[in-house]
Amino acid sequence: MSESPKPLVLLVDDEPQIRRLLTVALEANGYRVVTAASGQEGLSLAAHHRPAIVVLDLGLPDVPGQEVLRRLREWSNVPVVILSVQDDETGKVAALDGGADDYVTKPFNTAELLARLRVAMRHAVRQDEESVFQTGALVVDLANRRVTLKGQEVSLTVTEYNLFRLLVRHAGKVVTHRQLLREVWGPAAEEQTHYLRVYVGHLRDKLEANPSEPSLILTEQGVGYRLKS
């Protein structure tokens, strides 16, 4: 029986030292790597190699990373993890709203980046699998709209469930305030972030062991929320 091929990572970054560092780290952790030093080269390699995941720098010399992401999303749902020196919330929100799966800021911890890649790839696989999500003692049956914790059914209101379902569908990924508000309350509610504070609080009260120190529904300050995968 032949071994499964190692997942291919496309690394798009104009800094040679970053490309070298990540290539060594990724190959040591069971990945194959192909690298690009520009946005246009990255798009060409993505089309040719069809990688399992893309690590994309925003500050590229030819095409801005946001534009590379936009063009990539026109034809591919490949997981994309942004790697950038830009640490502003506006840039993060724009990248995540543009279809990125995660955002890691330079300088970065290599172990954390590898963990983020694994989560993004699991999420991509899960989208094509059965409609039951489980993490620890929490089980969500999306087909039957049923949430159980430690074997006991949890009663959620329609709005609470719709918000939680969206987090479940994107488990492990940051979902921005704007996306949550738009999909749960509609486009007119995109600025009403107080809705989220109230309803995330309700969900934490019902699902977290310690709602004041949440370990399931995590806050990404100024950006959105992430459901632990």
Whether 1 is in a domain gets the answer no
Q: Are residues 12 and 122 in the same domain?
A: yes
Whether 13 is in a domain gets the answer yes
13 closest CA partner among 26, 3, 4, 1: 26
Domain boundary among 87, 111, 126: 126
Q: What is the pLDDT of residue 203?
A: 97
Q: Are residues 99 and 167 in the same domain?
A: no
Q: How many angstroms separate the CA atoms of 56 and 65, rounded?
A: 7
- Report pLDDT digits (tens) over 11-57: 999 999 999 999 999 999 999 999 999 999 999 898 888 899 999 99
Q: Are residues 48 and 77 in the same domain?
A: yes
Domain boundary among 74, 96, 126: 126
Domain boundary among 65, 94, 126: 126
Return the CATH number at 171: 1.10.10.10
Backbone angles phi, psi at 30, to 5 degrees: 90, 20
Whether the model clears a pTM of 0.95, i.e. scores above it, the answer is no
| Model confidence band, residue 153 (pLDDT cutoffs 50, 70, 90) | very high
Q: What is the pLDDT of residue 128?
A: 46
- Report pLDDT digits (tens) over 97-146: 888 999 998 888 889 899 999 988 887 765 544 578 888 899 998 777 88
Return the CATH number at 108: 3.40.50.2300
| Model confidence band, residue 10 (pLDDT cutoffs 50, 70, 90) | very high
Q: How many angstroms separate the CA atoms of 39 and 61, rounded?
A: 8
Q: Are residues 31 and 99 in the same domain?
A: yes
Q: Are residues 106 and 183 in the same domain?
A: no
Q: Are residues 99 and 166 in the same domain?
A: no
Q: Are residues 111 and 176 in the same domain?
A: no
Q: What is the pLDDT of residue 219?
A: 94
| Model confidence band, residue 211 (pLDDT cutoffs 50, 70, 90) | very high
Q: Distance of alpha carbon 213 from its chain centroid, rounded?
A: 22
Q: What is the mean pLDDT of the chain?
A: 87
Q: Are residues 103 and 206 in the same domain?
A: no
Domain that holds residue 113: 8-126
Q: Are residues 41 and 96 in the same domain?
A: yes
Q: Are residues 144 and 181 in the same domain?
A: yes
Q: Which comes out higher in pLDDT, residue 115 or 188?
A: 115
- Residues 163, 203: contact at Cβ < 8 Å? yes
Q: Are residues 26 and 105 in the same domain?
A: yes
Cβ within 8 Å of residue 101, ≥6 positions away: 79, 80, 81, 120, 123, 124, 173
The count of structural domains within the chain is 2
Q: Are residues 77 and 102 in the same domain?
A: yes
Whether 53 is in a domain gets the answer yes
Angle at 171 between CA 175 and CA 32, to 5 degrees: 100
